[in-house]
Amino acid sequence: MEKVFDVIVVGGGSMGAAAAYYLAKANQRVAVIDRETVPNDQGSHHGQTRMLRFGYSEGESYVPLVQSAYRLWRELERESGQTLYIHTGALLMGEEGSDFIDKVMFSSTTHDLPHEWMSANEIMTRWPGLNLPENYVGVLDTMAGFLLSEECVRVYKELAENHGAIFYEQEQVMEINADENQVQVTTAHHTLQASRLVVTAGAWTHELLPTAQLPIKPVRKTFGWFQPKQEGLYESTHFPCVVFDTTFGLYYGFPDYQGKGFKLGRHDGGQKTTPDQLNRTFGAHIEDERELRQLLNEFVPEAAGSLVKGGVCIYDQSPDEDFILDRHPTHSHIIFAGGFSGHGFKFASVVGKILSEMALDQPLSHSIDSFKLSRFK
């Protein structure tokens, strides 16, 4: 029997759960389909934490978007009564005069963001757990912190359900058919119909919409939690999130939160894969732990204790590492969001709102011109 909705959302991760919340809150009949449970550890939102920073090295045009995202995250906390954001600050470090540091400073000064410029000596005096070369500097993003990623998705799901959204979990989409006015989505167990479809399926998005020709390349990424050698140095009560732009890679780290250990990952690099072929075992490649320890040994030596836990996630990488947010080129009632390239989670709140506005044909709260698919043609 066919079930009829106003909007179907395929992919119930960070962007999809947020979009479902805003749509259901707008009194839309919403169905969310996900091949796993919501939340889960198969996509890009697991691993406890995601950084939210304002002085954006990926481009100052993201700053207004992240400011809106921050306000929406805080609204979500108030509505849910849950703590979702931990304010720690974020220290972004690299060689003085490097492109990375220059972009962070340009974003910070252009948008008048609160920040502190610090020398290597000043950084090491304030946070003795860090070890930096003399030619390194840091920019402390004083408003930054981290989001509890799985909790964020869980709260969006619960609130969306409270507003009437229905989640079809552990159901793989078998087929998507569209005509001029309707979209039909078939899973192994259900056939759903709606006048609008939103696809936010991460590394599966381009496979679900082959005619859109989305240039998304899935990349296997790893991260790990390490037991500090010295107690108290890296606790989230006084140690910030960190980003290291080094000669051997770009790394991000999180303070020890709730005794889980110092968390570290490498943003660049990784192995090209497909979602179905992804090796989810940390340590399957020799570089999984070796790359992380290289950074720890040189820059955060007192955090380089035993590996507490390793994790694997998947990036949906776009060619320019900017988001892809648009309508299907031949079916305008199909909307998609992908290519978040490992820096999208913090924007889930505002992207979810924009997706809901697109589905409702409302004026957009932010321009998406720079994220349109046509830039690759």
The encoded tokens of residue 308 equal 């507490």
In sequence order, what are the beta bridge partners of 271? Answer: 220
Contacts of 342 (CB under 8 A, 6+ apart): 44, 219, 221, 267, 315, 317, 321
Q: Count the residues in the chain.
A: 377
User: How far is residue 276 CA from its own chain's centroid?
Assistant: 20
Mapping DSSP onto H, E and C, the string for 86-125 reads EECCEEEEEECCCHHHHHHHHHHHHCCCCEEEEEHHHHHH
In sequence order, what are the beta bridge partners of 316? Answer: 218
* Whole-angstrom distance, CA of residue 252 vs CA of residue 245: 9
Best CA proximity match to 359, nearest among 14, 116, 25: 25
Question: Helix 63-80 crosses helix 149-162 at what angle (to 10 degrees)?
Answer: 60
Cite the active site residues: 46, 49-50, 263, 267, 313, 346
Task: With residue 30 as reference, give the H or E element that holds it.
Answer: strand 30-33
Q: Which residue has the tokens 């991760």?
A: 13
